[in-house]
A and B are shown apart, each in its own frame.
Chain A
């Protein structure tokens, strides 16, 4: 075991992992996080905490992770490269580990243009793959990025990375995944899958390169709340593909929320049959309460 986290145990035992995702509040209270922890406890193996997603200021992902852990849910702390340089990131990696955080997801981060402080200066001292390499170096080589030795108590994270099979160039996405694995990623969470055919093609390429044997791939699923939401994701969210027929199905449904849940369950059941997929990551941001129902309907618990 590299980190000893629950998520690492579940995956290394070959069990189909289930993770969810929470966006921390835009205030200084742990109340919502405690509520979400109560809803999700026992239903999932770990829960991602976003790091100021879409570049909107929120309670810090590390602090939120501690609140979740205190309430019985194992966190996956997300860390982006947008807001901190290598000094601050390594400092936070030591701090988060000292607070019991064991799972870390490394991302570039959404550009600040999309957030509530578009005037901000971005950092991007290092990129997501360099971050993976840095966290792996701290764990396996016991070294800071500069090469200086971490003499004792080096942080040992279970290192996550993301893959987006729906971004371009498509044929490069698998090669970039491989770069992340080579840099030190232990598990991968994918962007939300709506175009399952494209994901099938992606996994076929993954298997051809044998990557599913080197890393745990957790497939992203997002339940659609309404046809309007689906249309918004299709048109406005970068790096996402939502097929028209899915939106049409949502439009025709009497109860769109129920239909969204049904689609998510069908997707999970389909994804479970794809060789090389080690789990699902259910991203129901601002709709966390639906996660237990989806998990139950999909027969994951």
Chain B
């Protein structure tokens, strides 16, 4: 999933300081699962913004709604009547959600309430961790299912580098060295031949360096 975290409340309050009526939109997708932008978080954000505004001696009217996924136009369209009524929309979707709302409601100011951080998963209750670098050319079949592109701070493909000690990354003693993990996994699987192979320079044109990416599945296009 895409993992996001709340922006500081004062930052969000600053975005809407000139508004009197806002719509706070939660997302039932990834940001709901990572407990940053679901129904509960949307209600809490609206309440907090109202309180902050009240402390300034002014009033803020908030409406709150949560849609199934902000990254799909049909769900985005489903709140059009509510959007019409407000000065601005505050989205608790990821960066994709904010943009889909802004693209759909062209005359409306759509503001982000979250910082979108990474593509990852839940490692334990309340803790999420990055796993995929979205590089567009998966090499997990060569690395024992552990991604060096995103889990190594230097994205090196022929690791581990000289800063790996006691299984930890040199930049953070709490972070496991991805290549150490790869080494252990391949060793346990009796596939160390894979780490001895030279991985040539990667083709980064398939990641964001190559420009905006899109995907088309012909048989699904209407």
Contacts and interface: CB of A to CB of B under 8 A. Distances in A.
B140 interface: no
B198 A127 contact: no
Contacts of A114: 171
Contacts of A128: 156, 158, 161
Given A111-B153, A129-B198, A168 B165 contact: yes
Nearest to A82: B154
A183 B204 contact: no
Interface string A111-137: 101100000001011111110011000
A168 B180 contact: yes
B170 A239 contact: yes
Interface residues of A, number: 37
B29 interface: no
Interface string A93-120: 0000000000000001111011000000
Interface in B157-184: 157-167, 170-171, 177, 180, 183-184
B155 interface: yes
A108 B160 CA distance: 11
Contacts of A111: 153-154, 163, 170-171
B201 A162 contact: no
Nearest to A175: B196
B180 A124 contact: no
A108 B170 contact: no
Contact of A122 (B154, B183, B196, B202): B154
Contacts of B196: 175, 178-179
Contacts of A1: none
Given A127-B161, A166-B165, A169-B160, 4 more contacts: A111-B163, A134-B201, A167-B161, A175-B192
29 contacts: A81-B154, A81-B156, A108-B162, A111-B153, A111-B163, A113-B153, A124-B155, A124-B156, A127-B155, A127-B156, A130-B157, A130-B158, A133-B198, A133-B200, A133-B201, A145-B201, A162-B162, A164-B162, A168-B160, A168-B167, A168-B177, A169-B164, A169-B183, A172-B183, A175-B196, A176-B160, A238-B165, A239-B162, A239-B165
Interface of B: 153-167, 170-171, 177, 180, 183-184, 192, 195-196, 198-202, 204
Interface of A: 81-82, 86, 108-111, 113-114, 122, 124-130, 133-134, 145, 162-164, 166-169, 172, 175-176, 178-179, 182-183, 191, 238-239
